[in-house]
Every structure is written in structure tokens, then in C-alpha cells.
Amino acid sequence: MATLGHTFPFYAGPKPTFPMDTTLASIIMIFLTALATFIVILPGIRGKTRLFWLLRVVTSLFIGAAILAVNFSSEWSVGQVSTNTSYKAFSSEWISADIGLQVGLGGVNITLTGTPVQQLNETINYNEEFTWRLGENYAEEYAKALEKGLPDPVLYLAEKFTPRSPCGLYRQYRLAGHYTSAMLWVAFLCWLLANVMLSMPVLVYGGYMLLATGIFQLLALLFFSMATSLTSPCPLHLGASVLHTHHGPAFWITLTTGLLCVLLSLAMAVAHRMQPHRLKAFFNQSVDEDPMLEWSPEEGGLLSPRYRSMADSPKSQDIPLSEASSTKAYCKEAHPKDPDCAL
């Protein structure tokens, strides 16, 4: 078998695994492509406007990408433990492995990696996902895992999240995931509206939508924290160790992005009251130097029309009717064949 690379003939080898979630990879690629597109057209912008424009684009794309990424992330609540545990049901063989648990808004992800990977003449490297999103049946997925004969640690953790488990983790995290995901989708819509308004001469309302974006993200964190703390924690015993969970990267990224949106909106509100000219310059919205023609810094002033002053209007040059008729008669007598005089 050494000549065949320690593989059995006529059998497919192990399937290659992607290093990260494909949904997250797609979201990151979309926003990176948008960022690259904006960077390509950056040399066409002159002066300080280039730096301001780049800062606005990078900040806005980061906020939008963060909201979408955490909505599909499986790392809202995570835990990991290294232990010696049983490997298969009805077997006395034990393995040394790293066991990981990632709980997201739409399901759980369980990993089992042997230390070392090669044990008991097998490659111990499992990454299983069980979802409870709308249209998915967690109990059916767990039943299929039993039929596949997955290792004991994976089935033990997956069983704790089944609807019939006395731990109540299924109702707890499923409820938290639904409300948190709904708040994040509303935050994403507010982010879209903020981008539209910030590209128009209604900066103050764009700041309000940015504030709403941050508030809905913080509300999502509040719903997730409250729903996950309704019941007492369920002990997860794996061998001689206990697996404890804590808030994961998705939770802290949401908190950071929400606070960033709130701080940026408050800074815009202060700048709108104190330095409206600099705020409009930052967003590349020019204002005339004549103070009589500038927009009012009040909220309604941003929507008020601008009129030309009487001093800038060209003076009307009225020609008396008698003078105009005499000039026309003289032209016809002196130049009767001229087509201009005939008009």
C-alpha cells in the first residue's frame, strides 16, 4: 500500500475542505471587489478630496461588510477544550482530541481534531454543521448524523441542542438567533439609506440613519445576550473536562461596529451644528463664499431652495417701442434687399 500513498485503490480520497465558510468568503470577496473598484478610480480625484473620499468609502464598506458577515457567522458563542474522550459508540477506545463548539444565529458547528490527527489507524478531523434556520429541521440533521456514525463527542454536543434535550439550548439559541438576525437586517437597510443620504445634500439625515444603524446593532447584541441568559448554563462534559462557551468574535465585531456607527453619527451632528462648512467639504459638497447665499445650518435649511440675489441678476435693457419702430423703418428704406431688415 505504500506505493499507492497509503490509500486504498478504486476509492476516492478525502475531500478537500475550504479554510473558511463559503458564505463569509463570498461576502468578503464582494466588498473587496467594490473596494478595489473604488481604489482604481481614486487617481482621478484631485486634492484633499481624494483622502476624504477614500476614508468615507473604506469606513462605509467596513460597516456594511461587518453587518452582513456577522449575520452569517457561526462564532457568536464559542468554546474549545482539549481532552481524552471515547471515540465511537460501543467501543472502549479513547482518543486525545481538540473539541470545538461554535454557535451562530442559524445553527451550531462542531469540530473534532485529533492530537495527533492520525490515531487508531484513522484521520480524526471532523467539522459538522447542524442548522435551525427557517426551512431547516435540526432533528432530521441529527438523525442523519446518527446514521452516518459520527464520533461520540460530535453526537454528544449535537444532542444537547436538539428540541427534545432537557437543556433547552435549542429554544434558547434559536430564539436569540431569530431576533438578532432580524435586528441586523434592519441595521443593514439603515446602512444602505445612510449611504444614499450622505451622497445627497441632506447630511444631517444621513447621520440620523447612521445612528439608527448603530442602535439596531446594539439592540441585536441585547437580544442575543438576553435570550442566551434566560436559562441556566448546561454543563457539557467531555471525558474528564467540561466545555465552557463565551462570546465569540462575531459578538465583539458587532459591538465594535455599532459603537463606531454611534460615534460617527454624533460627530456628524456636532460638526453640523458647529462647523457645517467643513462637514460639507468633507463630503465633497461645495458651498458659495457669499454668506447671503449659503444654506442655513438648520435641518430644514438643507432642503430650502437657493435664489439668486438681485445684485447678481443681469439688468434688464428695455428698449422703447417708438425707438425700435423708427430704427426698423430706417433700415427698410436704406437697405430694402437686406433680409435682416425685412424681419
The dihedral through the CA atoms of 249, 255, 256, 257 has a sign that is positive
- CA 143: distance to chain centroid? 34
Query: Per mean pLDDT, which range of 39-53, 82-96, 150-164, 284-298 is the poorest?
Result: 284-298
The dihedral through the CA atoms of 59, 62, 66, 67 has a sign that is positive
Please indicate whether residue 125 or residue 133 has the higher confidence score (pLDDT): 125
What is the pLDDT at residue 250?
Answer: 94
Contact 210, 187 (CB under 8 A): no
Mean pLDDT across 31-52? 81
Highest mean pLDDT (candidates 50-64, 163-177, 245-259):
245-259
Phi, psi (5° rounding) for residue 137? -120, 110
Q: How far apart are CA 206 and CA 209, in angstroms?
A: 5
> Is the pLDDT score of 279 beyond 90?
no
C-alpha cell at 211: 445612528
Q: Show the DSSP H helices in 41-168 as ranges.
A: 49-71, 138-148, 152-160
What is the pLDDT at residue 214?
Answer: 95
Q: How confident is the model at residue 92 (pLDDT cuts 50, 70, 90)?
A: confident
> Is the pLDDT score of 340 beyond 70?
no
The alpha carbons of the chain give a radius of gyration, in whole angstroms, of 34
Q: How far apart are CA 288 and CA 290, in angstroms?
A: 6
| Angle of CA points 73, 115, 141, to nearest 5° | 40
What is the pLDDT at residue 119?
Answer: 84
